Amino acid sequence: MKFLILDRDGVINHDSDHYIKSVDEWVPIPGSLEAMARLYQAGFRLAIASNQSGLGRHFFTIDDLHAIHRKMVRELANLGCQVEAIFFCPHTPEANCFCRKPLPGLLQEIASRLQIDLTGVPCVGDSWRDLEAALAVGASPILVRSGKGLRTESAHATELSRQGIPVFTDLAEVADQLLVA
């Protein structure tokens, strides 16, 4: 069975520099949920790995975050899709934790808890730290231009090219590519 790890904000839903703090602020990027459903129905196991420093900054509560995730899971279920697990880092950058991307702890936790080898597993993100975390565990990073992806592509064009990291418009385009591979 194939596996796919996704960042949340900027990949699945619209991102905000002011954080996604409530169910009302969580708005899927057009085509993202459908892309996840197509991948799931084609045999991919899906997991989400997301930095959520808004928790550590007290911009929202754990109950708010769970409500957002329940909404996402419900909308995916309506499309015939299940996410196997949602992993998140609640810490601020100043906490220097091991689970905050770009460090590999969150992805290593996914591997341990779901008993998978991350070697070559596609990891989709919109920020350089998402891609660095994937590289650190031997996964295959993929950049999307949605969210902060255009800025990431511009700021890290040389590294993207040198590392051979593919860049796609959005998650729907990633799904198209993975489903023909």
pLDDT in tens, 28-84: 999 999 999 999 999 999 999 999 999 999 999 999 999 999 999 999 999 999 999
Is 24 catalytic? The answer is no
Say what angle helices 171-180 and 32-41 make with each other, to 10 degrees: 20
Is 15 catalytic? The answer is no
Which two structure tokens, joined as six digits, stand for 90? 């609640």
- Give the active site residue among 7, 64, 130, 170: 7
Quote the pTM value. Answer: 0.96
Distance separating alpha carbons of residues 29 and 8, to the nearest angstrom: 10
Residue 100's alpha-carbon distances to 5, 6, 74, 111, in angstroms, are 15, 15, 26, 15
Q: Where are the domains of the chain?
A: 2-180
The CATH superfamily label for domain 2-180 reads: HAD superfamily/HAD-like (3.40.50.1000)
